[in-house]
Amino acid sequence: MERLNRHQMAARVAKDIPEGAYVNLGIGLPTTVANYLPVDRDIFLQSENGLLGMGPAPVPGEEDWELINAGKQAVTLLTGGCYFHHADSFAMMRAGHIDICVLGAFQVSVHGDLANWHTGEPGAIPAVGGAMDLAIGAKQTFVMMELLTKQGESKLVEACHYPLTGLGCVSRVYTDVAVFEVGPSGAGVLEMVEGLAIEDLRKLTGVPLRESMALPA
């Protein structure tokens, strides 16, 4: 079995983003999905801090620190993009104007509950940012994460034990070994890397998994 690296995961997510989609990419790993969106497709990247039509990073030395993304990295604006204030930006999310948001996660439950903002450890300073708004607002929320923690525990779980970001909000989980659908009827496997069997995934995750290999190309 060959696990996908982070670049391959990003490319895999990018493949499922159709032309014309309004997309918000969360900070960290999901941000890299932008690098794999085909340049011949009009895909609209939204950033919570008030821009639509976000372009790639500027040439080094030409950063404008008043043109940044949610991760506070310098970005650019595509021709046809525009700026707006924070209330309009979160209206875009909360009312389902954003088609797809891609988020990282600590844990996702088979029913689509998401935990990605707080470890709940004593002494940890919590910070939520836009995660809760994105998770429950977008038409579809994709999670992108390695399936296992460094300790080898599955991040796809029966029920999240970390504090929740949102209930039943995730529809699909892209990992380094498989793509899952999650939701009210539990989890299904849509794709696996070569050399992996569904039984292996059941062992790795410890959760019931349907075979749902019917993802349209």
Partner 1 sequence: MIDKSVVSAEAAVADIKNGSAVMIGGFGTAGMPDQLIEALIAQGAGDLTIINNNAGNGETGVAALIKAGKVKKIICSFPRQADSHHFDAAYRAGQIELELVPQGNLAARIQAAGAGLGAIFTPTGFGTLLAEGKETREIDGRQYVLEYPIHADFALIKAQRGDRWGNLVYRKTARNFGPIMAMAAKTTIAQVARIVPLGDLDPEAVVTPGIFVQRVIETAPVPLHAVA
Please state the closest distance from residue 183 (CB atom) to partner 1, in A: 16
Q: Is 183 in the site for partner 1 (CB under 8 A)?
A: no
Contact 201/209 with Cβ under 8 angstroms?
yes
Of 59 and 125, nearer to partner 1 (C-beta) is 125
Distance CA 101, CA 94 (A): 12
Q: Is 13 in the site for partner 1 (CB under 8 A)?
A: no
In our burial notation (b when 16+ CB lie closer than 10 A, e otherwise), range 54-63 reads beeeeeeeee
- Where do the H-state alpha helices sit in 31-156? 86-94, 131-137
- State the number of binding residues for partner 1 (CB under 8 A): 58
Please state the closest distance from residue 175 (CB atom) to partner 1, in A: 24
When binding is defined by CB under 8 A, the residue of 50, 55, 104, 186 that contacts partner 1 is 50
Distance CA 192, CA 3 (A): 10
Task: Please say whether the dihedral angle defined by the alpha carbons of residues 124, 130, 133 and 135, taken in this order, is positive or negative.
Answer: negative
Choosing from 19, 48, 63, 199, the catalytic residue is 48
**Residue 48 bears catalytic tag:** yes
Q: Where are the strands (E) in 104-186, listed by range?
A: 107-109, 114-115, 140-144, 156-157, 170-174, 178-181
Q: What binding mask, one character per residue, do residues 151-170 give for partner 1 by CB under 8 A, x or -?
A: ------------xxxxx---
Calculate the CA dihedral of residues 48, 54, 57, 58 and round it to 10 degrees.
-120
Q: Is 196 in the site for partner 1 (CB under 8 A)?
A: no
Interface with partner 1 in residues 70-89 (CB under 8 A): 72, 77, 79-89
Q: Which residues form the catalytic set? A: 48
Q: Which residues sit at the interface with partner 1, rule CB under 8 A?
A: 19-20, 22, 42, 44, 46-53, 64-68, 72, 77, 79-98, 118, 123, 125-133, 136-137, 163-167
